[in-house]
Structure 1
Amino acid sequence: MNCSTLLSLLLTVVQLWPCSPTTQNHSAQNTDQSFTRVQRVKRGWLWEPLFVTEEQTSRMPVYVGQLKTDLDKQDGNLQYILTGEGAGSIFIIDEYNGKIYVMQTLDREKKPFYILRAQALNRNTHLPVEPESEFIIKVRDINDHEPQFLDGPYVAVVPEMSPEGTSVTQVTATDGDDPSYGNSARLLYSLIQGQPYFSVEPKTGVIRMAAQMDRETKDQYLVIIQAKDMVGQAGAFSSTATVTINLSDINDNPPKFQHRLYYMNVSEEAPVGTTVGKLMAEDSDIGENAAMNYFIEGDSSDVFGIITDNETQEGVILLKKRVDYESKRRHSVSVKVVNRYIDDRFLKEGPFEDTTTVKISVEDADEPPVFTLENYMMEIAEGVTNGSLVGIVSARDPDNDDSPVRYSIVQGMHLKRLFSINEHNGTIITTEPLDREIASWHNITVTATETRNPEKISEANVYIQVLDVNDHAPEFAKFYETFVCENAVSNQLIQSISAVDKDDSAESHHFYFSLAQEATNNSRFTVKDNQDNTAGIFTAKSGFNRQEQFYFYLPILILDNGSPPLTSTNTLTVTVCDCDTEVNTFYCRYGAFMYSIGLSTEALVAILACILILLVFFLAIVAIRQQRKKSLFSEKVEEFRENIVRYDDEGGGEEDTEAFDISALRTRTVMRTRKPRKNITTEIHSLYRQSLQVGPDSAIFRQFISEKLEEANTDPSAPPYDSLQTYAFEGTGSLAGSLSSLGSDMSDVDQNYDYLSDWGPHFKRLAGMYASHRSVRD
């Protein structure tokens, strides 16, 4: 029994142990006094701690203990009474001597103790000789429960190659027995399965690594742990739990190529980016520990490249540059693979990389011709004669130098008109004169085609620059409007001029300005060259009279610095204005215009006045005619009441004047109603043929007609006059019948048209036609 058990028993004894008795004389006098007054009496109970062992099986009551008071004289004068939990059913008491017995089997795990109350009565007076006292009967535990692993089965993960003593996981079992009494609940853990890789601490159940293990050898272990109570003594209960221990991967293995040498092929026609082949290194690790990157080492990295497929961890070799069978038929590529993530703890295990060699053979193919240059630059002077040489392009067949090549220009018709190429030797000549001022560069595309295999074609760009020739004389930079006042003084600047040249000068343009020789002697103006490609026009004399001369025409000579130099004569028109100091441009232009047409201001005003009077007269006539048209229409508006309206019944002729009301078309809210008409054709109804059912069901057709009629009635944009409504079906149910003879069951021979004579004079001509038609047929 441990210390905690002894302490609990001592506390129970102190609680249940009665106070020390005091010897008293119980005479009859004292007894009588007890009825009249209550005296404080010390407790005289005498008992020891009471225990009952659980799971006792006996047919007879089992003795638990005895309750006794120091007032009991053993003469049977006292009666013991037991109340509380289980009194009378589980526990009974001998009322004469106070002995307590248990009647049933108890289970400590269900109820560890019972609280009862004891009382001692005088049999004669039925009065208590001791105050009622409470005590406890504890159920003493026995080892009747086996340990249980409540959280099993267990799964644990530990990194591979972990050192010895690394904690893996902890298992815990529970025992339903009393841990404070005996060894029933004291557990001891042991390893049933899992040696020599794992161990378990006996008291805590912590599982530890007992050796370093490699996941690549075995990645999962099954460990069985036993928990036994009674500290493993004989007769103890036990149970086991299964622990599945998985080894997680670490990067402790380098990648390895399966072969030291690989062979691949690629066609010389393959474009850049073509996949040449794939290779894969093996890594015993998994997940990111097996991730790797591939590299190409050496000079071959310029021609070939390699990328890593992250899904398959393959190295994909790609073509970075076109290969040529004729120049190099085999390439040797060194490929290295390296782990992407490296664990520093295993660097001492060696480099986590590997290398291999890939032999790539270039396959021969029929290649198109190859130009000596990808781009050709040529020059030619503008204005050269047709057939002048521009340049020569050259291409050869890389497969066979003797294979002939045919050349052609594949640009548009415009360039074909300017240039042509000799299809045999690639000589480019001009077919028309070139003008640099129209186009200074021409870009053409020349093709070279194998004669033996026309499908093999290659192209080259030819850039032709047209060199400038000084073939354009300088001219005014813009159109100048020059004015001079009548009172202008001598040597007065009236205009600044400049020049442009379409030619492209190797050096900057320089122009020289002067008056033409024919205008130098008697000119009223002078030209001053400013030596900066501009010149000023000055008056040579003072005073001008616009009545004598309205315009002056100055021939100005402009000379460029080209080779050879070119000159041009440009005429500057100077207009004389009626002004003092400042020129009014608008007034001068107006005066110039009047002068050019030979009219004075007064004459022009008179002409404009006449035009205005005629315009007013014309507008008045138009307004009067419009007014007359409006009045005429209002007077005769009632005459425009005749309309053509199509229905599915036949009209009654001219005598039927109530067949249609125009007001129904002019008012949206008025519903169309049938008005009674004269029944002029009742006598001929029996002669009408039954119409044929050629359209859809009559109810559907009637609904279709009603919808169309309602749309026409409610349409705000519909005019209140004749309109044409076209339908896709022929009506049914009309007494007039069908007008078509295609489906008729009667011929013209079977019909009698005599009733037409009874319709009146308006149908007399029609009746005569049918009557004559019948007589001829008869």
Structure 2
Amino acid sequence: MEFMERAIMWNKLPVWQVFLWWHHFFLLWSTIDGQTRYSIPEEVKQGTVVGNLAKDLGLVVSELYRRKLRITSEAGKQYFSVDLGKGELVVIDRIDREELCGQRPSCLLPLELVIDNPLQLHRVEIEIQDTNDNSPSFLTKERVLKIAELVNPGARFPLESAQDPDVGTNSVRSYLISKNDNFKLTVKNHKDGRKIPELVLEKPLDREKLSVHNLILTAVDGGDPVRSGTSEITVVVLDNNDNAPQFERQVYEANVSEKATPGTEILQVKATDADEGLNGEIEYFFAEQTTDLILSLFDIEPSTGAIVVKGVLDHETNSLHRFDIIAKDKGNPKMDGHCGIEIKIVDINDNIPEIIVTSLTTPVPEDSPIGTVIALISAKDPDSGDNGKVKLTVSSKYPFRLNPSVSNHYSLVTNGPLDREKNGQYSVKISATDAGKPPLSSEKIILVELLDVNDNPPVFSQPSYVVYVKENHPPGRILCSVSASDSDSGDNAKISYSILDSKVQDVSVSSYVYINSDNGSIYSMHSFDYEKLKVFQIQVQAKDQGSPSLSSNATVHVFILDQNDNSPAVIYPSSAALGSLSHQRMPRSAKAGHLVTKVTAVDADSGHNAWISYKLAEATDTSLFTVNLYTGEVRTKRAVSEQDDSSQRLLIEIKDDGEPVQSSTVTVSILLEDGLHEPILDLRQKIAEPSKKNGRITLYLILSLASVSVLSLLTFLILTVKCIRNSRSSGSCCMRRTDCDDYKNPNRNLQIQLNTDGPIKYVEVLGGDMLSQSQSFRSCMSPMSEYSDFTLIKPSSTTDFKEVISVLDASLPDSTWTFESQQVSRKQSFILIMKI
């Protein structure tokens, strides 16, 4: 602080002096290792400002509260606090230097200043200056000296030293003796700095003249104001016994281990007396001013002068003991001599190092960078020398390390990435080992908890889901449930589900299904129609509630399973489809097996539900006609006779293979006429006639059949590759019987059927099943038609068979035609209608 106050005056000095002063200042600053020191006297009033920490440490006062500035003291008791509003260090309790530091010449109270966000550590030292608040005092207020009257002048008699807890100039400076005729006072300076008063005989004593001398010994300190203490000295003049015992040495010194057991001899003092008899026999005693502590630790053999251990010695409590020994003879009067004893307690490594956690930040965010300070730790060992040197270590298996700081202080910092999901809490074991022989060690466990951050997105139980739903199921039915988990905790692990917007047949998927945001259950909004929609995908998103939130997606493949909800629709004869009778003509000359007509029907369902069979339900003459079960061809069973009615009526029933069976009927009216030529012969004649129109139609037919075949083959190859790829994942190409008991494995083989028998010619190309998005194309020709045209139509998903029939029938008079239509997901088949 003295340097800082002088620095303020720099503008009052010449430039060269300012430069020189700053040079010395930085040299001094570099020697204190970045520490800040203040000096205050002891016993200052509470509320006294020690210094402005914010200013001296370069801190911003407005940020002190946010950064949680706090101080810790090694003294255990808090004597200071920080005014966060001003950044000042303030005294909050009474400070007694003697209580803190005893007789040590320098009294430093170290403080640790801890600041968070970011964490910083500053060391501040408070020097407690001594004030003269204690007066010198004597343990013995009254002292009796017995001196023989024959003692020669110049004899010295050591007196008790006064005690003063103050240090420096405030300690004992001098001694005074009250005015008398026989004695004077001298002060002997001991090598350890003590001042020992001695009473010196100036004039011989005369017992007959004055047998008792009353003196006052005064001890004076050097404080301002001066303080003093007194002790009464009574000198009793004795007769006879001329010589007092004399010790071989004035001061005896010895070392003893602090682990010495009671009874261990430390040293032996020896005094001699020139007298004879009882006047020369000596006994040894402790001086009268000996403290109770000395008397509890040591003992002396009166006859031999051997000083032995009596109690338990402790280097850490007192490393040096001083006391006086008196040697007395048995004369009359008794004479005595004095010597000083200094016993040093030798330290042994008997104290285990202590680990002190001065600051701990927990929980710690798991994304904390390497080097983040977790705790401030110090080590303390009351032993001295190497026995008191402590080293802290932490196991390498933890992602932490210890960085040494100042004065046996360490900071525990992160040394690797942290992951709460792998280890939510660390029990960090800190080991402290001193340098003694043998070394002693201790351990301390620090619990470091990790604070979760949102670093893990939700993970679905499977990347994709496959759902099979029967068509016409009731709305509101649950389709499936998706689930995701998040290894984070708290809000970071709370998951909500939603459906990402997408299009299904140009309509938002949200109009088809909705999802419960809490449990991931997906419900249908309405029933499905297989004939309009066979398969669609739902993109489900799982999002946590962290900040920022993380999400992941999964695909739900929904397959609509066909139900037998469509009756077969008759497309030929066309008049039957319109609800009236179909009139057919045949010659009476027709033989058995003659093809009269062909009933053609389609079923919008798929699989078994679309397999159609034909049956003759009623007939005018059941013996004359028969209907092929699978093709619907109406043929004669026998030759027509003259007895057969010219008008024959047939009721043909058309059934599918579904459950329950759906059926429809068609009525065919057949007129038997004489002289009617065979249609096939006419057809051959027409075909034989050269015509540009017929050639063009044939060319179109060949091109259409070739293109249809190539397209079917490519579709089959694409579907095969796709299924192979999807089968390697958990994908949606897998069909599970448990999802639908009614599902039957369809035929996936490519089929090409050609029918040239009879008056109707057609080719069918079938590739795969309905669920594998295959195509089915059929080209039909009827030689009974008077036209040789064909029409290619690409229907929408909502095309109605009856509407197509009515439109075509109205535009093509008295025609014979057929078509095949099938819609698949994202693709449509073609309707090929040919008129010949």
- Asked if TM exceeds 0.5, the reply is no
TM-score by length of 2: 0.34
The two structures have a TM-score, normalised by structure 1, of 0.36
Which has the larger share of strand?
Answer: 2
Q: Could you say which structure has the larger radius of gyration?
A: 1
